[in-house]
Chains A and B, each alone.
Chain A
Amino acid sequence: MVLMLCALVQNGIALASEVGAMSKADDMKAEPFSDSKSVKALSVGEKLDILSKQGGWFKVKAGKTTGWVRMLSVRKGDAKKGAGNASGLLALSSGRAGTGKVVATTGVRGLNEEELKAATFNEAELQRAEANASSKTDATAFANQGKLVVRPFDYLPAQ
Chain B
Amino acid sequence: MKKSIQILLASLSMVSVSACAFDLGELKGKVDAAKVKVDAAKASIPPVNPKLAEAVKDIQGPSESEEIAIGRQIAGNLLGAAPLVKDDKLQKYVNRVGRWVATQSERPDLPWHFGVIQSEDMNAFAAPGGYIFITLGLYRTFQSEADMAGVLGHEVGHVIRQHHLKVLQQSKLVDAGSKVLSKSVGGNDKVQQLIGSGAEIVARGLDKDAEFEADRIGVVLATRAGYDAYGLPSVLQQIGHAAKDDDRVALLFKTHPLPEDRLNKLGSAMGDRFDRVKGLTLEKRLLKVKQ
Q: At the interface, yes or no: B18 with Cβ under 8 Å from chain A?
A: no
Complex interface: chain B residues within 8 A of A17 (CB): none
Contact in complex: B100, A148 (CB < 8 Å): yes
Tell me whether chain B's interface is mostly helix, strand or loop, or mixed: helix
Complex interface: chain B residues within 8 A of A53 (CB): 230, 234
Q: At the interface, yes or no: B10 with Cβ under 8 Å from chain A?
A: no
Contact in complex: A126, B213 (CB < 8 Å): no
Instruction: Known contacts A72-B267, A117-B198; decide if A129 and B245 are in contact (CB<8 Å).
Output: no
B120, closest chain A residue (CB): A108
Q: At the interface, yes or no: B241 with Cβ under 8 Å from chain A?
A: yes
Complex interface: chain A residues within 8 A of B268 (CB): 159
Contact in complex: A95, B77 (CB < 8 Å): no
Q: At the interface, yes or no: A71 with Cβ under 8 Å from chain B?
A: yes
What 0/1 readout, one digit per residue, does chain B (255-291) give for beta carbons within 8 Å of chain A? 0001011011111111011110111111101000000
Stretch in contact with the other chain, from A37-45, A60-68, A80-88, A131-139: A131-139
Complex interface: chain B residues within 8 A of A92 (CB): 260
Interface residues contributed by chain A, number (CB under 8 Å): 69
Complex interface: chain A residues within 8 A of B73 (CB): 121
What 0/1 readout, one digit per residue, does chain B (75-95) give for beta carbons within 8 Å of chain A? 111111111100010011001
A147, closest chain B residue (CB): B280
Q: At the interface, yes or no: B164 with Cβ under 8 Å from chain A?
A: no
Instruction: Known contacts A133-B111, A155-B217; decide if A125 and B83 are in contact (CB<8 Å).
Output: yes
Complex interface: chain B residues within 8 A of A115 (CB): 81
Complex interface: chain A residues within 8 A of B115 (CB): 129, 132
A123, closest chain B residue (CB): B76
A121, closest chain B residue (CB): B76
Instruction: Known contacts A113-B203, A125-B76, A132-B95; decide if A104 and B245 are in contact (CB<8 Å).
Output: yes
Contact in complex: B99, A135 (CB < 8 Å): yes
Interface positions of A from 83 to 108, Cβ below 8 Å from B:
92-93, 95, 97-98, 101, 104-106, 108
Contact in complex: A119, B226 (CB < 8 Å): no
B81, closest chain A residue (CB): A119
Give min CB distance, B74 to chain A, whole Å.
Answer: 10
CA distance A53 to B229 in the complex (A): 13
Instruction: Known contacts A101-B245, A104-B245; decide if A111 and B269 are in contact (CB<8 Å).
Output: no
Complex interface: chain B residues within 8 A of A157 (CB): 269
Give min CB distance, B152 to chain A, whole Å.
Answer: 12
Contact in complex: B277, A151 (CB < 8 Å): yes
Contact in complex: A155, B220 (CB < 8 Å): yes
What 0/1 readout, one digit per residue, does chain B (219-258) give for beta carbons within 8 Å of chain A? 1100111111110011001101101111111110100001
Complex interface: chain A residues within 8 A of B104 (CB): 150
From B108, B111, B230, B248, A71 is in contact (CB under 8 Å) with B230
Contact in complex: A140, B103 (CB < 8 Å): yes
Instruction: Known contacts A75-B260, A159-B269; decide if A129 and B79 are in contact (CB<8 Å).
Output: yes
Contact in complex: B84, A72 (CB < 8 Å): no
Complex interface: chain B residues within 8 A of A156 (CB): 216, 219-220, 269-270, 273
CA distance A159 to B246 in the complex (A): 31
Which are the 10 A-B pairs with shortest beta-carbon distances?
Answer: A148-B226, A72-B267, A95-B244, A119-B81, A139-B99, A119-B198, A104-B243, A125-B79, A119-B80, A134-B95
In the assembled complex, 27 residue pairs joining A and B whose CB atoms fall closer than 8 Å, in A order, are A13-B143, A34-B275, A53-B234, A71-B230, A71-B233, A72-B263, A72-B267, A74-B237, A93-B261, A98-B244, A105-B246, A108-B120, A110-B119, A112-B203, A113-B251, A117-B197, A119-B80, A121-B76, A121-B77, A129-B113, A132-B114, A146-B145, A148-B227, A149-B226, A158-B209, A159-B265, A159-B268
